[in-house]
Amino acid sequence: MLSKRIIPCLDVRDGRLTKGVKFAGNADIGDPVEAARRYYAEGADEIVFYDITASHEKRGIFLEVVEKVASSIAIPFSVGGGVSGVREMRAVLNAGAEKVSVNSAAVRDPRIIAEGALAFGSQAVVLGMDVQAVPPDDSVPSGYEIVIEGGRRRTGLDALAWAREAVALGAGEICVNSIDADGTKEGYELTLTRLVAEAVPVPVIASGGAGSPRHMLEALTRGRASAALIASIVHYGEYSIPQLKAWLREHGCKVRL
Amino acid sequence: MLAILDYEAGNQTSVRRALDFMGIPSRVTADPQVIARALGLIFPGVGAAGQAMRHLRLTGLDRLIADWVRQGRPLLGICVGCQILLEHSEENDTETLGIIPGRTRRFSPDLLDEDERKISIPHMGWNSLRRLRPSPLFAGIAPEAEFYFVHSYYVEPAPEYILATTLYGLEFCSVLGRDGLWAAQFHMEKSGPAGLAMLRNFYDYCLGAADAE
């Protein structure tokens, strides 16, 4: 029986973590490679890196980070941010990532999903979607709209329709990030997570809003997610991954210990 | 040194990185002379069986693998490298190497999980093993250890080759083989400490086999 996955997410700018990561009894770590090593040792099932480097020239620094991570951990990891074509996908996969995540670029040109799936297989292509709750209308019947550019721009796309289209094009997994819940630490958007998970046959990763292990349990049961993305709940030393996993297992959720 | 067969099928570098991580010497190569000097051969694979077989036939590596096994030298197949050791794969209806009796089949989308919901395909994520036979590959690894799977096809070898099974919609063979000839469906190079231990167990077996000669 498949285990639910716990996935810490690290934001990287110019080769450094944007906010430090603090492990129990230790000072902040700003080095993404060291943080990846620590989460690997703690039992993370996968790790996600987002490159939020603004300038194109500094892309090389990020690829060096990806290569170092690949040589430091023996679990899958995915990379997102700034990926707008098959060339960038190939660069991060060659650097040692298992999966590459596309978001805004796929909304602008959905062909990137099909081209990536054809070149590297569906298992390597993750669709990241940022979603905002809106009053339902003809173009967004579910009441969940896709937004891009970090939530600054609405697209008029319905989240469920977009999820189905992306899977038909070849996306192997979908990471559903609720803009409304993101950063609140009040829990994942369960209705949205469940709607997407029931609309597509591929695994769904819940993202945005984790503040406690109970929130993760809810996303993995009622939300029907296959995996829970976590950030501040572990980055600031509030919980460790073994603590979260032990709690989840005690509450009937199958996780890898 | 372990040779990692280079046949343009994906995960050679991640296998090499995992071996580097443990300080086990390895080479990613398709050169028969380099392979001849190796203590053991790792046969990785990502991608489609049809394409992999075409490349192996075109380069003569299919015969190299068959000869290697005939000489009783240690081989470890991973993922697609496990599947194409069998006789036939439903993926692209491909005749495969035929080193192990049996077939590779596609997960039916009608299979149900433990909640009676249709399974997602591919089977992707961490899953455990039920060991049916002892193997040196399992040495020192906890019985409940989990491994990282990504696949849409599964192997159905002759029963005497099944070393361990895994549950996903059905109970399928996840580790197969006999002494010195092994293969696993999961990616041991991506399966954390348990997966690394399995790679090390293979290397230790290869060292022992070399000493015995």
- B92 dihedral zone (left: phi>0; alpha: psi -120 to 50; beta): left
Q: Which of A40, A46, A254 is nearest to B193 (CA)?
A: A40
Please write the tens of the pLDDT for every residue from B71-96: 999 999 999 999 999 999 999 899 99
Residue A214: CB atoms within 10 A of its CB come to 13
What is the 8-class DSSP label of residue B119? P
Active site residue B79: yes
Mutation target to probe the A interface, by most A beta carbons within 10 A, among B16, B79, B112, B120 is: B120
What is the per-residue pLDDT across B35-59, written as a single tens digit (0 to 9) for each?
999 999 999 977 788 888 999 999 9
Please answer yes or no on whether A76 and B123 come within 8 Å at the CB atom: no
The predicted-structure confidence for A146-176, as pLDDT tens digits, reads as follows 999 878 899 999 999 999 999 999 999 999 9
* B166 contacts: CB under 8 Å, gap ≥ 6: B127, B128, B129, B130, B149, B172, B174, B185, B186
Contact criterion met (CB < 8 Å) for B21 and A40? no
pLDDT score at B10: 60
Is A177 a residue whose pLDDT tops 90? yes
Exposure of A192 in the CB half-sphere (CA atoms within 13 A): 29
Of the candidates A108, A110, A111, A117, the one whose C-alpha atom is nearest the C-alpha of residue A100 is A117
Over 90: is that where the pLDDT of B11 sits? no
Rounded Cα gap, residues A151 and A167, in angstroms: 22
Burial B24-36 (b: 16+ CB within 10 A, else e): bebbbbbeeeebe
Nearest to A133 by CA among A72, A195, A89, A77: A195
Q: Locate tokens 């049809």: which residue? A: B50
The residues near A36 (Cβ < 8 Å, ≥ 6 apart) are A10, A47, A49, A69, A72, A73, A77
Q: How many CB atoms neighbour CB A84 within 10 A?
A: 14
Which of the 8 DSSP states describes residue A101?
E
Q: Residue A119 has what pLDDT? A: 87
Here the tokens at position B64 are 């190299």
Active site residues of A: 11, 130
Q: Is the preceding omega at residue A201 within 30 degrees of 0, hence cis?
A: no
**Chain B residue at shortest CA distance from A97:** B14
Q: Which of A1, A70, A257 lies closest to B167 in CB terms?
A: A1
Contact, A47 vs A77, CB < 8 A?
yes
Under 8 Å CB pairs connecting chains A and B tally to: 71
Q: Which domains does chain A have, with CATH numbers?
A: 5-250 (3.20.20.70)
Q: Do B189 and A3 touch (CB under 8 A)?
A: no
Residue A217 has pLDDT above 70, yes or no: yes
Residues of B in contact with A36 (CB under 8 A): none
Cβ neighbours of B16 in A, within 8 Å: none
Q: Which residues contact A117 (CB under 8 A, 6 or more apart)?
A: A124, A125, A169, A170, A171, A172
Both tokens assigned to A91: 């660069």
Q: Which residue of A has its CA nearest to B130?
A: A1
Domains belonging to chain B, first-starting first, are 2-212 (3.40.50.880)
Residue written as token pair 């709607």: A195
Averaged pLDDT of chain B: 94
Inter-chain contact B123–A70, Cβ cutoff 8 Å?
no
| Six token digits for residue A137 | 């209308």
Tell me whether B122 touches chain A (CB under 8 Å).
Answer: yes
Q: Taking residues A118-125, what's their average pLDDT?
A: 89
ipTM of the complex: 0.92
B121 interaction partners in chain A (CB closer than 8 Å): 201
Q: How far apart are CA A155 and CA A143, in angstroms?
A: 13
Q: How confident is the model at residue A249 (pLDDT cuts 50, 70, 90)?
A: very high
Is A70–B14 a contact, with Cβ atoms under 8 angstroms apart? Answer: yes
Token reading at A104: 């805004």
Pick from A77-81, A246-250, B120-124, B182-186: least confident? B120-124
Give the helix, strand, coil percentages of chain A, each rounded to 5. Answer: 35, 25, 40
Residue type, B76: L
pLDDT in tens, A188-215: 999 999 999 999 999 999 999 999 999 9
With 0-12 / 13-18 / 19 or more C-beta atoms within 10 angstroms meaning exposed / middle / buried, residue A92 is: buried
Token digits of residue A134: 């809106």
Of the partner residues B120, B125, B167, the one whose CB lies closest to the CB of residue A5? B125
Provide mean pLDDT across the span B187-202. Answer: 97
Q: Searching chain B, which residue's CA lies closest to the CA of residue A39?
A: B192
Q: What span, in angstroms and rounded, lies between the C-alpha atoms of B171 and B89?
A: 18
pLDDT confidence of B121, banded at 50, 70, 90? confident
Q: Are A6 and A45 in contact (CB under 8 A)?
A: yes
